[in-house]
Amino acid sequence: MKIVSVEAVPVNLPFQEPVSDSWGKYESSNHGIVIVRSDSGEYGAGEIAFAWFGGAFRLCDEVNEMWAPRLIGMSIYDTAGIIALLDSFCPFSKRHLLAKAGVEMAVWDLIGKTLHVPVYQLIGGKQRDRLKLTGGFPMGSVDRMVEGAVQRVSEGYKELKLKVGLDDNRDLEAVRCIRAAIPDQIQLRVDANMAWKNAKRAKELIDEMVEEGVGIVEQPLPDTQLADLAWLRDNTRALILIDEGVWDVHDAKRNLDSRAADMLHVYISEAGGIAGSKSIFELAALHGTDCTIGSMPEGRIGAAASAHVAAAMPNLSNHASDIRGFTAYVQDVTNEDLIISEGYLQVPKGPGLGVTIDFDRLEKMRR
């Protein structure tokens, strides 16, 4: 079967509430919905998610104008050839990995739908039916963050994640107040998004947070400070989870070789798709390292792809992943929702990614 068309449709997904981190505040997110069709009449869906460096809409234009013509005519089963072609579009800018991911996951979805099997069966088989998730909540006042933490615990989340990095004193107060407001068995992690620049100061903050029950610190320092990250790993009691420092498998190798990571946070979009994510997991396994899954945050299509990877990887950490970004949006383009219950995401069971596009809604959301 051959690819007969490739289209990236630009859409804007508005957040139910603004999303904040140490880099800024966001009201909505630009995405591209990728549709790859074969001569059988079947289609596969993918997603270009939350793209910086020019934005998802610009990436949609590049896919439609430059990538699609070269993909048309290729066998849908020639995944090695398709991935090699997509890789040839990505050597000069990591932002193209986001476009590659959208096209590549659409191809996997198309193959799965054509063969009537879920994608997780195509990449190794299902290891688990549900995925433990972090309970996240927006940056804000300490009182508001405490309210968010208590709400997430009431919803069944067993591990909470709060953003830090704007104000050290506020961050420490938030950690203390949240810890006091939630049961002791609820695990707590912080995500600095590279906001801390000095390793010694980062250690001081981490040490104080560990005393309040923080067990994981996500990307405490800029991704270029590998030696400092390794030093923090050796000199603090928190697990160091590398996030912004890991896009593709080459980034993963640098962090693993530098001993900078206790765990890697793998993003389907940043890794360039499902196969790239699988490669990071496999490399990490060779180093005896577990991985969690991050979120750009993708909508339901990208989240479904993340869920299939997480379901199939033996070294997915027992610590929670972040595949919950899709819950932040007012509406999405799929017919199906993804189910979160008691802090766990149910792995989609249908063929391909387990989601289908509502084409009428897609047209209404097209930008």
Do 107 and 208 fall into the same domain?
no
Is residue 335 one of the residues assigned to a domain? yes
CA pair distance 286, 289, nearest whole angstrom: 7
Do 253 and 287 fall into the same domain?
yes
DSSP state of 212: T
Do 83 and 136 fall into the same domain?
no
Token couple for 61: 């234009």
Do 160 and 293 fall into the same domain?
yes
Do 109 and 139 fall into the same domain?
no
Do 252 and 325 fall into the same domain?
yes
Tally the domains of the chain: 2
Do 51 and 161 fall into the same domain?
no
DSSP bridge pairs for 33: 9, 47
The Cα-based distances of 45 to 10, 51, 313, 361 in angstroms read: 13, 18, 22, 14
H or E element in which residue 189 lies? strand 187-191
Do 129 and 51 fall into the same domain?
no
Do 42 and 151 fall into the same domain?
no
Residue 270 belongs to a domain with what CATH number?
3.20.20.120
Residue 114: count of CB within 10 angstroms of its CB: 18
pLDDT, tens digit only, all 367 positions of the chain:
999 999 999 999 989 988 766 667 788 889 999 999 999 999 999 999 976 656 899 999 999 999 999 999 999 999 999 999 999 999 888 999 999 999 999 999 999 999 999 999 999 999 999 999 999 988 889 999 999 999 999 999 999 999 999 999 999 999 999 999 999 999 999 999 999 999 999 999 999 999 999 999 999 999 999 999 999 999 999 999 999 999 999 999 999 999 999 999 999 999 999 999 999 999 999 999 999 999 988 999 999 999 999 999 999 999 999 999 999 999 999 999 999 999 999 999 999 999 999 999 999 999 9
Give 285-339 pLDDT, tens digit per residue.
Answer: 999 999 999 998 899 999 999 999 999 999 999 999 999 999 999 999 999 999 9
Is residue 351 one of the residues assigned to a domain? no
Of 328, 272, 302, the C-alpha closest to 13 is 328
**Looking at residue 52, what is its pLDDT?**
62
For residues 179 and 213, the answer to whether their CB atoms sit within 8 Å is: yes
Is residue 205 one of the residues assigned to a domain? yes
Do 60 and 167 fall into the same domain?
no
CA pair distance 242, 152, nearest whole angstrom: 24
Domain coverage including residue 125? 121-346
Is residue 354 one of the residues assigned to a domain? no
Token couple for 273: 């798709």
Do 195 and 260 fall into the same domain?
yes
CA pair distance 263, 287, nearest whole angstrom: 10
Is residue 353 one of the residues assigned to a domain? no
* Reported pTM: 0.95
**Looking at residue 98, what is its pLDDT?**
95
Is residue 203 one of the residues assigned to a domain? yes
For residues 15 and 157, the answer to whether their CB atoms sit within 8 Å is: no
CA dihedral 360, 44, 121, 265 (to 10 degrees): -80
Residue 85 belongs to a domain with what CATH number?
3.30.390.10
Do 227 and 275 fall into the same domain?
yes
Is residue 147 one of the residues assigned to a domain? yes
Is residue 352 one of the residues assigned to a domain? no
